[in-house]
Amino acid sequence: MKLISANWKMNLTPSQSVQYLQKFLPLVEDVRDREILLCPPFTSLCVAYEILKDKEVKLGAQNCYYEKKGAFTGEISLSMLKDLGVSYVIVGHSERRWIFGESDELINKKLTACLEEGIRPILCVGERIEEREAGLTFKVVETQIRLALSGIEAFTDSIDIAYEPVWAIGTGNPATPEDAQLVHAFIKDLLYILNPKHEGRTRVLYGGSVNPQNASHFMAKRDVDGLLVGGASLDPEAFAKIVKSF
Ligand code: 13P
């Protein structure tokens, strides 16, 4: 099933999140043929869990730590997230990589921990503008995926991947659907090389300046299995339009 997900990033307080859900849920009540995922900040997970408990809309987190518990001030474990009904975690978002210095090694540990805990990770990959201009898009994406999945290639059926070119995030300048399709097809070929057994079981989402106007153009591409939406997902009406746009 296609996966349409919202990454609210560091936006919306718990009370704003409640208002959001009150507006959003009626708008997508009749949607059955695609999975809808909301990834609010940690502080809104509790209120969102209470509201979404008996709903089809899934709850995700934007980050996690890989250790099970202990002296890791400020971090959140996967069992804490699971207890709040979280079924997905975004791992390796470019903002985590480039603002908070997350390494491929750390991302690999987080993915491994997600698989152990039974929470489905959405691994984010994508090139920066200078890498794109140097013709390195495919190489960068391949390296990020190979390092992230190192030692866990047997579990590619339990992971989704989001292709989010860094230069397209929050810029209003998305990749063209054609360019996204090329990278998505490349990612699927790479997944096949890593684990031919699970062909087609990893969804590849596109993220980067998706909005209600362009969403259906991405979703029309063969290898685009869903979307990861930032800015436009903060408006419940806009996000509902994106969910229903194809
Ligand atoms: P924007 O949709 O704001 O470009 O953000 C995309 C993103 O980073 C989703 O994870």
pLDDT digits (tens, 9 = 90+) for 35-48: 999 999 999 999 99
Q: What is the DSSP letter of 47?
A: H
* Per CATH, domain 2-243 is 3.20.20.70: yes
Q: Kindly give the distance from the C-alpha atom of residue 162 to the centroid of ligand 1, in angstroms, as a whole number.
A: 11
DSSP 11-22: ---HHHHHHHHH
**Does the Cβ of 170 fall within 6 Å of ligand 1?**
yes
Mean pLDDT of 83-106: 98
Q: Rounded to an integer, what distance in angstroms lies between the CA atom of residue 135 and that of residue 184?
A: 16
Report the candidate in 87, 93, 83 with the shortest Cα–Cα distance to residue 119: 87
| DSSP 8-class letter at 23 | H
Distance in Å, CA 210 to ligand 1 centroid: 7
Query: What residues contact residue 39 under an 8 Å CB cut-off, 6+ apart?
Result: 5, 6, 7, 8, 59, 60, 61, 62, 88, 90
Residues of the chain above pLDDT 90, percent = 98
| pLDDT confidence of residue 246 | 85
Q: Is 122 in the pocket of ligand 1 (CB under 6 A)?
A: no
The domain segmentation of the chain, as residue ranges, is 2-243
**Hey, whose CA ends up nearest to atom 5 of ligand 1?**
230
- The arithmetic mean of pLDDT across residues 107-128, rounded, is 98
Cα 209 to ligand 1 centroid, rounded to whole Å: 6
Q: Among 102, 127, 164, 184, which one carries the catalytic annotation?
A: 164
Give the pLDDT band of residue 209 (cuts 50, 70, 90).
very high
Q: Any catalytic annotation for residue 153?
A: no
Place of tokens 């210095």: 101
Q: Tell me how far apart the 2 most distant CA atoms of the chain are, in Å.
A: 49
Instruction: Reply yes or no on whether the pLDDT at 199 is more than 90.
Output: no
164 counts as catalytic: yes
Q: Which of 5, 93, 228, 233 to mutate to test the pocket of ligand 1 (most atoms within 8 A of CB)?
A: 228
| β 204-207/160-163 pair status | parallel
Helices (H), 31-163: 42-52, 78-83, 94-98, 104-117, 129-133, 137-148
What pLDDT band is residue 173 in, cutting at 50, 70 and 90?
very high
- d(C-alpha 242, C-alpha 224), whole Å: 14
Instruction: Give percent of the chain with pLDDT exceeding 70.
Output: 100
* Marked catalytic residue, from 93, 95, 117, 127: 93
166 lines ligand 1 (CB under 6 A): no
Q: Give the number of the atom of ligand 1 that is nearest the alpha carbon of residue 231.
A: 3
Q: How far apart are CA 53 and CA 55, in angstroms?
A: 6
Average pLDDT over the chain reads 97
pTM for the full predicted model: 0.98
Quote the tokens at residue 218.
């991405």
pLDDT at 222: 98
